[in-house]
Amino acid sequence: MKFIDETVISVKAGNGGDGCLSFRREKYIPFGGPDGGDGGIGGSIIATAKDGLNTLADFRNKNEFRASNGEKGGGKNKKGKAGEDLVIELPVGSVIYDNESGNEICDLESHGQSVELAKGGDFGLGNTRFKSSTNRAPRKITKGIKGESKKYKIVLKVLADVGLVGLPNVGKSSILSAVSMARPKIANYEFTTLHPNLGVVLINEYEKFVVADIPGLIEGASSGLGLGIQFLKHISRTKLLLHVIDISNSDIKKITKDIQVIETELKNYDDKLFNMSRWYVFNKIDLLNRKDLMDMKNNIVKNHDSNVYFTSSINKNGLEKMCNDIWNHLREIYND
């Protein structure tokens, strides 16, 4: 299914009910006093974050929401019934923007967090309210106020623990596929991945983490080349980046250059992302012979002080150790 990560919704809160114009009608009392009640307040529209949702796909079919109006006041000082609030459930990680100004309204970071998107209109006053010593039979009421109408853009940032980044065709989706049940499209051409994919890595029955695979980045991505860097927002909240590099068919110079390309793009996108923990995953080791691989490993390890892995997504070499290390790393972060 296509990954939908952005949507625009229209919301219209309920109008307030009008106040009522009414006078007591009782037998033998020709001029009863005013008894028109107030209207009811209009229903508001509220967004709330809910665990367990992970796409905005439902909004493809329904993107207009209305809360009910407050009812009119009645005779005998009866207050109109309030309109019911309408609650829109969004995945945790949704960020809500005002569609016109682009201003961020709310970042729904945890389950249960709520924000009012449109306020229900206030109720109108019935004529009882206007009774005074000088006016015992007021014919005045006020009308209910209209509920707010607004448009919002909602952007879902995927909440993954680990993000895969790298040049196109290096094997990011293959790695995701090898370590999780996710089955992203894999092919021997660039930009096979067009949308982010998520996979859950199971360490055991209770221990798991989520990996996000995004489209490949290329030099100049941060200024709009290739698929752009729009997808980097999906991994901006991960705890760890895995930078995947194709080790086959390249010498150490080319590899160093490839690494720099990605690092420059990450830096241009956001310093925070650049400074996040980043491990290097040298993939496709099955394509090198023993000796070349040994030489390459020695060269690479010399130049890197952070975690470095040598993997093959074809025969799964190196992946189990990598996943266990990731799990231990995440556990340390989350237990802090």
Ligand X SMILES: Nc1nc2c(ncn2[C@@H]2O[C@H](COP(=O)(O)OP(=O)(O)OP(=O)(O)O)[C@@H](O)[C@H]2O)c(=O)[nH]1
21 vs 262, beta carbon nearer ligand X: 262
Maximum Cα–Cα distance across the chain: 112
Q: Does 171 interact with ligand X (rule: CB under 6 A)? A: yes
Contacts of ligand X in 213-232 (CB under 6 A)? 215-216
Alpha-carbon distance 28 to 16, whole Å? Answer: 35
Alpha-carbon distance 304 to 319, whole Å? Answer: 19
Q: Does 169 interact with Mg ion (rule: CB under 5 A)? A: no
Contact string (CB under 6 A) for ligand X, positions 267-306, x = contact: ----------------xx-xx-------------------
Structure tokens at 171: 């094997």
Stretch that binds ligand X, among 15-23, 46-54, 90-98, 184-192 (CB under 6 A): 184-192
- From 185, 179, 232, select the one nearest 208 (Cα to Cα): 179
Q: Does 180 interact with ligand X (rule: CB under 6 A)? A: no
Backbone φ and ψ of 223, nearest 5°: -105, 20
Angle, CA 12 vertex, CA 10 and CA 16 arms, to 5°: 175
22 vs 197, beta carbon nearer Mg ion: 197
Q: Does 172 interact with ligand X (rule: CB under 6 A)? A: yes
221 binding partner (options ligand X, Mg ion, none; Cβ < 5 to 8 Å by kind): none
Per-residue b or e along 73-87, where b marks 16 or more CB atoms closer than 10 Å to that residue's CB: bbbebbbbbbbebbe
Residue ranges that bind Mg ion, judged by CB under 5 A? 172-173, 192-193
Residue ranges that bind ligand X, judged by CB under 6 A? 166, 168-174, 186-188, 190-193, 215-216, 283-284, 286-287, 312-314
